[in-house]
Each structure stands twice: as C-alpha cells, then as structure tokens.
C-alpha cells in the first residue's frame, strides 16, 4: 500500500530554518518524481518545488518565491524526501504537502504538515 506522510512542521521565528520530512512506503521513492506544495491558511494551492526521479537525473526545480532558500533532497535508502527551509518568512506560513508522481501525475499526497512562521 502506498503511503506518504509529512512531518516536521513547527512554529518558528522569522529567519530561522526548518526541515520537513516526507516518509514514503509501498514503492521505491527514487524511481519517481516528487513534489512539495503548500497552502497558506484559507488560501489556494501553491507549488513549492520538485525533484525528478533518479532515472531522470534527480534534479530539482523551485518556485521563485522559495528559490535560494528552500532545498529538496532525498534519501532513497530510507524512502524519505526532505524540504530544507532556510531564512523563513512570515509568508511561508502554510500547510506543506508532499506528493509523488506514481502513475499519471502528482497523484499520491500526504495529509500535510503545518509550518507557522511568527515572532
């Protein structure tokens, strides 16, 4: 059974760092592209960034709003993907979702983890 579970969300002060984890099971994470999305309270969905599958080079792409501050990495041996977030801003407050492109598109999502950036 495919499972995607985010963790690591927390209340942090502006300028601090945080690492989110996306723990997966039921498939080989490295064989698939994965992406992070976010949703600010009461707002719509926003793409944060993604990592291509290992066969496709495992390269990453980011939204302009997070480029240079956020980094996606992956530990295939543990089937965990990470979102490293530096220099956090108040506007980064959101529920962060991890999603995997298993079959047709980003079709398997976790339940999300809440990041609150506040002084």
Partner 1 sequence: DIVMTQTPLSLSVTPGQPASISCKSSQSLLHSDGKTYLYWYLQKLGQPPQLLIYEVTNRFPGVPDRFSGSGSGTDFTLKISRVEAEDVGVYYCMQSIQLPLTFGGGTKVEIK
Residues 6 or more apart from 45 whose CB is under 8 A from it? Answer: 37, 38, 39
* Interface with partner 1, residue 82, by CB under 8 A: no
Does 111 bind partner 1 (CB under 8 A)? Our answer is yes
d(CA 31, CA 18): 26
Residues 15-34 close enough to bind partner 1 by CB under 8 A: none
29 vs 48, which CB is nearer to partner 1?
Answer: 48
Considering only residues 100, 106, 115, 117, which one is a binding residue for partner 1 as defined by CB under 8 A? 106
Binding flag, residue 91, partner 1 (CB under 8 A): no
CA-derived radius of gyration, the chain: 13
Q: Which of 10, 23, 27, 63 binds partner 1 (CB under 8 A)?
A: 63
> Which range in 24-32, 70-78, 86-94, 101-109 contacts partner 1 by CB under 8 A?
101-109
- Assess contact for 54 and 3: CB atoms under 8 A: no
CB 109 within 8 Å of CB 117: no
Interface contacts to partner 1, rule CB under 8 A: 35, 37, 44-47, 50, 61, 63-64, 97, 99, 103-107, 109-112
């Amino acid at each position: 059974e495919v499972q995607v579970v985010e963790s690591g969300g927390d209340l942090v002060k502006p300028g601090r760092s945080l690492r989110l984890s996306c723990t997966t099971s039921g498939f080989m994470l490295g064989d698939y592209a994965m992406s992070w999305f976010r949703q600010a309270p009461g707002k719509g969905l926003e793409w944060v960034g993604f990592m291509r599958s290992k066969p496709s080079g495992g390269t990453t792409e980011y939204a302009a709003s997070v480029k240079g501050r956020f980094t996606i990495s992956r530990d295939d041996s543990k089937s965990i993907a990470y979102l490293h977030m530096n220099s956090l801003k108040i506007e980064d407050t959101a529920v962060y979702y991890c999603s995997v492109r298993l079959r047709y598109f980003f079709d398997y999502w976790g339940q999300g983890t809440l990041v609150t950036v506040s002084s």
